[in-house]
Amino acid sequence: MTNVREHVYEQFTEQSVLVYLERKGLISDREQVTCREVGDGNLNYVFIVKDLQTGKSLVVKQALPYAKVVGESWPLSLDRARIERQALQEAAKYVPALVPEVFDFDDDYAVTVMEDLSDHVILRKGLLEGNQYPHIANDIGTYLAENLFNSSDEALGPVEKKKLARQFVNPDLCDITEKLVFTDPYKKSDSNSYSENLQETVESLWHDERLVFEVTKLKKQFLTEGEALLHGDLHTGSVFVTAESTKVIDPEFAFYGPSGFDIGAFIANLTLNYIAQQERADEANRSEISEYLLEAIEQTWAVFEKRYRELLLEKGFEERQQTAQYADFVLEKIWQDTLGFAGCKTIRRIIGLAHVEDIDGIEDAAGRLQAQQRAIETGRSLIFNRTVWRSPKSLTAYLKGLAK
């Protein structure tokens, strides 16, 4: 399903976006506003537009017809702007406080106009500055439970669920994940990117047939299991925070997939931050930050599980779905998938395209190498132990063991 009329689309500049906003009546006088392009992500333009008189501001996000991080050689559908906007609007039905408000949109220009969150910081950045956010586990656990349950067959019934699912067919963005998360890191590939001193580790991973088989199975799940409407890219760069507020942004990878993929993405990124902090934080703060991150991993799952169970028992579409036995069955599957996908997401950030600042920004080369190797090993353990580790305590115990 695509609503974009390609011949209307033009790529905005800081000047032309104001002409557009004025034409749409979203600003009254373009001489009275400032505009800055601040997009530092991999795919889009993000303009912050500020009214000099009222001080009010808004964000204009525009999808580009290619992956900005790679260049025009990797074309991408503009329809992802519609998908992102509709995913934000779906989430706003259940957790309005946890997503930015959408003010306006224009599918022809692949544009969404939304709340400016400049008073927030990106969670990844905040964590790297050593900050702790007391609400993060509760907010993300709630976001995950509400969105994943309320888009599932058990919430909507199979007919309404399929009608919703057809709005979120997202081949180009799924293709990115299929390649960069599940495929390329496990073989020699031009898209891979890792330091020379990791070559031996990486090659031994390529030759680990047992691992490659498990990842191939997880890829099949990603390809075929349309359990819920996913965010699709829920790393710590997709979350804006202050001490009091959490906002999940950027669901352009949204599609119907296995629920554990989103939870795994978030837990993987907390895990990567934990591994990085062992090399980054000074000794005085290391144990406090580590405790905080381990607690956040455990609590995110605990909050998710409790809320998901409540929703299922209360609202399950069929009465026979409203039983503890069925809830245990559903949640056990989501937990195992969470671990498996967390493993894949951890490994891809070390070997594949698009790394994370947590690890790449470790200044000391020996410390960076140690973190990269630990991340790969943790990813393997997550994948292999996904049916063995019965709760987040197993993961956090493993991580505590790494730090010794």
368 is in an annotated binding site: no
- Residue 123 interacts, among Mg ion, ligand SR1, none and using kind-specific CB cut-offs from 5 to 8 Å, with none
- Residue 180 interacts, among Mg ion, ligand SR1, none and using kind-specific CB cut-offs from 5 to 8 Å, with ligand SR1
Q: Which of 69, 365, 388, 397 binds ligand SR1 (CB under 6 A)?
A: 69
185 is in an annotated binding site: no
Pairing label, strands 246-248, 66-67: unpaired
The stretch near ligand SR1 (CB under 6 A) out of 1-9, 13-21, 64-72, 160-168 is 64-72
CA-to-CA distance for 98 and 49, rounded, in angstroms? 22
**Positions that interact with Mg ion (CB under 5 A):** 41, 250
Neighbouring-strand partners of residue 63: 44
Q: Is 358 in the site for ligand SR1 (CB under 6 A)?
A: no
Residue number with CB closer to ligand SR1 (26 or 70): 70
Query: Would you say 388 and 343 are in contact if contact means Cβ atoms under 8 Å apart?
Result: no
Residue number with CB closer to ligand SR1 (44 or 396): 44
Q: Which of residues 282-341 bind ligand SR1 (CB under 6 A)?
A: none
CA-to-CA distance for 291 and 297, rounded, in angstroms? 10
Q: Which of 14, 39, 42, 130 binds ligand SR1 (CB under 6 A)?
A: 42
- Residue 354 interacts, among ligand SR1, Mg ion, none and using kind-specific CB cut-offs from 5 to 8 Å, with ligand SR1
The stretch near ligand SR1 (CB under 6 A) out of 18-26, 67-75, 202-210, 278-286 is 67-75
Count of alpha carbons within 13 angstroms of residue 181, beta-carbon side: 27
Q: Quick one: 189 exposed, middle or buried, by C-beta within 10 A (0-12, 13-18, 19+)? A: middle
- Residue 87 interacts, among Mg ion, ligand SR1, none and using kind-specific CB cut-offs from 5 to 8 Å, with none
Q: Is 233 in the site for ligand SR1 (CB under 6 A)?
A: yes
Q: Which of 180, 218, 362, 399 binds ligand SR1 (CB under 6 A)?
A: 180
Fill in the DSSP letter of residue 101.
P
SS3 of residue 213 by DSSP: helix
CA-to-CA distance for 44 and 112, rounded, in angstroms? 11
Count of alpha carbons within 13 angstroms of residue 396, beta-carbon side: 17
291 is in an annotated binding site: no
139 is in an annotated binding site: no
Site size for ligand SR1 (CB under 6 A): 11
Residue, CB closest to Mg ion: 250
104 is in an annotated binding site: no
Fill in the DSSP letter of residue 133.
-
| Least distance from ligand SR1 to the Cβ atom of residue 45, Å | 15
Place of tokens 């409407």: 229
Counting every residue written for the chain, the total comes to 404
Q: Is 354 in the site for ligand SR1 (CB under 6 A)?
A: yes
Taking the mean position of all CA atoms in its chain, how far away is CA 34?
A: 30
Count of alpha carbons within 13 angstroms of residue 371, beta-carbon side: 29
Q: Is 136 in the site for ligand SR1 (CB under 6 A)?
A: no
Q: Quick one: 360 exposed, middle or buried, by C-beta within 10 A (0-12, 13-18, 19+)? A: middle
Q: How many CB atoms lie within 10 A of CB 173?
A: 22
- Residue 342 interacts, among Mg ion, ligand SR1, none and using kind-specific CB cut-offs from 5 to 8 Å, with none
| Least distance from ligand SR1 to the Cβ atom of residue 232, Å | 9
117 is in an annotated binding site: yes
Could you tell me the two tokens for 245?
């507020």
Q: Is 362 in the site for ligand SR1 (CB under 6 A)?
A: no
Can you list the pairs that 202-207 forms with residues at least 24 positions away whose Cβ atoms lie under 8 Å?
A: 202/351, 202/376, 205/347, 205/351, 205/376, 205/380
Q: What are phi and psi of 148, to 5 degrees?
A: -70, -40
* Alpha helix positions (H), 225-364: 260-280, 283-315, 324-351, 357-360
247 is in an annotated binding site: no
Q: Is 344 in the site for ligand SR1 (CB under 6 A)?
A: no
- Residue 176 interacts, among ligand SR1, Mg ion, none and using kind-specific CB cut-offs from 5 to 8 Å, with ligand SR1
Residues of this chain that interact with ligand SR1 (CB under 6 A) are 42-43, 67, 69-70, 176-177, 180, 233, 353-354
Residues at the binding site for substrate are: 233, 348
Residues at the binding site for ATP are: 44, 61, 115-117, 250-252
Residues at the binding site are: 44, 61, 115-117, 233, 250-252, 348
